[in-house]
Amino acid sequence: MSSNKTHHREKIAILFFLLFLAMTGLMGRLIFLMIFRSEHYSAMALDLHERERTIKAARGTIIDANGTVIATNRTVCTISVIHNQIRKADEVVAVLSKELGLQEDEVRKKVEKYSSREIIKTNVDKAMGDTIRSYHLDGVKVDEDYKRYYPYDTLASTVLGFTGGDNQGIIGLEVKYEQYLKGLNGKILTMSDAAGIEIENAAEDRIEPVAGQDLHISLDVNVQRYCEQAAYQVMEKKGAKRVSIIVMNPQNGEIMAMVNAPEFNLNDPFTLNADAGVPASDKEKQDLLNKMWRNPCINDTYEPGSTFKIVTAAAGLEAGVVKLDDHFSCPGFRVVEDRKIRCHKVGGHGSETFLQGMMNSCNPVLIDVGQRLGVDNYYKYFEQFGLKGKTGIDLPGEASTIMHKKDNMGLVELATVSFGQSFQITPLQLITTASAIINGGNRVTPHFGVKSVSTDGASVHEFTYPVSEGIISAQTSETMRYILEQVVAEGSGKRGQVDGYRVGGKTATSEKLPRSLKKYISSFIGFAPADNPQVIALITIDEPEGIYYGGTIAAPVIADIFKNILPYLGIEPTEEKSASAFRIYG
């Protein structure tokens, strides 16, 4: 009997010991959590009771060369609901569906969904947001936000680009300078009870947003608008598929205008242009939108045709294989290996100097210059002029030159390249290379961005761009300016003349692929003043109907643009003739 009692006492002692250990462990754990982990669990508890709402930062504006705002913001509202704070669900559903023009079933699903926050609608006009706020509905939140707004609708649409629903840049300058424009969002932190209901009179933490920086660009609204007007006029007159115009300062690469007609409405970028047709599917619509948003000046390549003779001439002069008074013979064609390559003048130009060959835009003369250079030398200058790479413009999606590999370039390919066929470049690459040839030999980087400035003006970031100096000599550059001035004064570019101004330039009429379609791109590149170029412009007219020669339909457009923008830019007219001041280098 006593042994049983002793056995029970041992069991009880063991039990008490185990309970003591358990209690000691629990107390130790509790002390550990209360002392050493208190900050962690306090933060978790705070997070559980805090509700966070974002305060959107205002996106930086985009400002043109004159200080005109061309991209800004409009205040809009985001309407949302918090389930645990709603007291009259039916009233909330009725008011929101009525005021926002939404289906009741759609609104009710979100109102009855148990979540921390459900967005009912974004980009609501501020007036409507104020109306909904005036109902004082528990659980309904009206937060102010920003929506991108473009005061000029279609102006420079493919250049500026637009933003998406989250106000982030999608294409154009909007996406290229996103890091400067976007700003830093703020926050509102409020306290709620265990049921998720906001506690009245509780302290509210607020982190203010930081607005994005303003982007100052070289684009000039007045020059852009005039160029767009000219582009639409010639597009309508010639029934063209598309017209692109670039106007740039050849001395520093600042772009004053870049037009791609037809442009699209930046305030409604997901609506197709009227001539785009009706898409059969969502995929087809997206394809059409992507096509509408493209910037052909930098995204698309084409055969430049005779405007590229500027490059062949500059390379020939720089290499010393040709002089202005060298004589050539043009019977209307040139035979290269087994190929008969024709001149645009079927009967030929007869005997002519190199200068006259350029003025006449004679293919055989430029073929001969290319043959004198040879494949190795021509390829060297092609690379030296920067034509193998990209221009480095501050816009996304720039296309590269499509050129024969050197090993695959025979005499026939050399001949066709010499007058601008059998390879492709972008319009921007052509005008950038031409700028280097006429500005003294410095290849500048074409660009729009000038500087970014914080809203308080305290921070200013000046953008800089690389310059490749001496791609040709100053003497060759001067000779090229003279040649191209004569092309406009007395040659194929006569329709590019502007009264009172010395203008240089080159025309082109290039046949699109496949040749059997007989579709053409008419173009003209011009610059002024010819002795000290301050403006260079390129127009490409895609698939004009009827007369399609660049000298006939493209050159007059640039002449008209120059007639209007040169005085505006403060470039004084002069009647001085180039021949009296120019020395022919022999």
Q: Residue 558 pLDDT > 70, yes or no?
A: yes
pLDDT at 82: 87
Q: Please report which confidence band the pLDDT of residue 585 belongs to, taking 50, 70 and 90 as the band edges.
A: very low
Question: What mean pLDDT is predicted for residues 4-9?
Answer: 66
- Rounded Cα–Cα distance for residues 385 and 300 (Å): 20
Could you write out the three-class secondary structure of 189-234? EEEECCCCCECCCCCCEEECCECCCEEEECCCHHHHHHHHHHHHHH
Question: What mean pLDDT is predicted for residues 4-29?
Answer: 75
Q: Please report which confidence band the pLDDT of residue 586 belongs to, taking 50, 70 and 90 as the band edges.
A: very low
Tell me the DSSP string of 37-72: SHHHHHHHHHHHHEEEEEEPPPPPPEE-TTS-EEEE
9: Cβ contacts below 8 Å, ≥ 6 apart: none
Q: Residue 8 pLDDT > 80, yes or no?
A: no
pLDDT at 579: 43
Ordered by start, the domain boundaries in the chain are 54-86+94-103+117-193+202-217, 255-569
Q: Which amino acid is at 430?
A: L
Q: Residue 49 pLDDT > 70, yes or no?
A: no
253: Cβ contacts below 8 Å, ≥ 6 apart: 432, 435, 444, 445, 446, 447, 465
Q: What's the residue count for the chain?
A: 586
pLDDT at 575: 61
Distances, alpha carbon 444 to alpha carbons 320, 397, 436, in Å: 25, 19, 7
Look up 306 and say whether it is catalytic: yes
Type and span of the H or E element at 490: helix 474-490
Give, as one character, the DSSP assignment of residue 249.
-
- The answer to whether the bond into 529 is cis (omega within 30° of 0) is yes
CB atoms within 10 A of CB 246: 25
374-402 residue pLDDT tens: 999 999 999 999 999 999 999 999 999 99
pLDDT at 584: 41
pLDDT at 580: 40
Coil, strand or helix at 31: helix
Coil, strand or helix at 95: helix
pLDDT at 31: 75
Pull the structure tokens for residue 355. 């200068």
Comparing CA positions, the residue from 403, 475, 484, 469 lying closest to residue 436 is 469
Q: Residue 330 pLDDT > 70, yes or no?
A: yes
Q: Residue 440 pLDDT > 70, yes or no?
A: yes
282-314 residue pLDDT tens: 999 999 999 999 999 999 999 999 999 999 999
CB 578 within 8 Å of CB 502: yes
- Rounded Cα–Cα distance for residues 504 and 283 (Å): 46
CB 546 within 8 Å of CB 521: no
pLDDT at 161: 97
Comparing CA positions, the residue from 4, 6, 167, 199 lying closest to residue 85 is 199
Q: Please report which confidence band the pLDDT of residue 52 belongs to, taking 50, 70 and 90 as the band edges.
A: low
Q: Please report which confidence band the pLDDT of residue 200 belongs to, taking 50, 70 and 90 as the band edges.
A: low
Q: Compute the mean pLDDT over every residue in the chain, rounded to the nearest whole number.
A: 90
Q: Please report which confidence band the pLDDT of residue 18 belongs to, taking 50, 70 and 90 as the band edges.
A: confident
Question: What mean pLDDT is predicted for residues 468-476?
Answer: 97
134-149 residue pLDDT tens: 999 998 998 888 889 9
Instruction: Looking at the structure, give the CATH architecture of the domain made up of residues 54-86+94-103+117-193+202-217.
Output: Alpha-Beta Complex (3.90)
Of 97, 192, 306, 492, catalytic: 306
CB atoms within 10 A of CB 478: 17
pLDDT at 38: 67
Comparing CA positions, the residue from 356, 373, 258, 361 lying closest to residue 310 is 361
**Order of all β-strands in the sheet with 186-191:** 50-55, 186-191, 205-207
Question: What mean pLDDT is predicted for residues 230-256?
Answer: 97
Beta pairing partners, 190: 51
Task: Report the share of the chain in percent with pLDDT over 90.
Answer: 72
- Rounded Cα–Cα distance for residues 551 and 153 (Å): 33
CB 453 within 8 Å of CB 459: yes
428: Cβ contacts below 8 Å, ≥ 6 apart: 246, 297, 298, 391, 393, 398, 446
Beta strands, E only, 458-532: 460-462, 504-511, 520-528
Give, as one character, the DSSP assignment of residue 35.
I
pLDDT at 33: 66
- Rounded Cα–Cα distance for residues 514 and 516 (Å): 5
pLDDT at 496: 97
Annotate 562-583 with b (16+ C-beta within 10 A) or e (fewer): bebbbeebebeeeeeebeeeee
pLDDT at 43: 57
Comparing CA positions, the residue from 543, 564, 565 lying closest to residue 554 is 543
Annotate 403-433 with b (16+ C-beta within 10 A) or e (fewer): bbeeeebeeebbbbbbbbbbbbbbbbbbbbb
Q: Please report which confidence band the pLDDT of residue 578 belongs to, taking 50, 70 and 90 as the band edges.
A: very low
- Rounded Cα–Cα distance for residues 217 and 519 (Å): 36
Query: Per the CATH hierarchy, to which homologous superfamily does domain 255-569 belong?
Result: DD-peptidase/beta-lactamase superfamily (3.40.710.10)
Q: Which tops the pLDDT comparison, 26 or 461?
A: 461
| Residue 499: exposure state from Cβ atoms within 10 A (0-12, 13-18, ≥19) | exposed
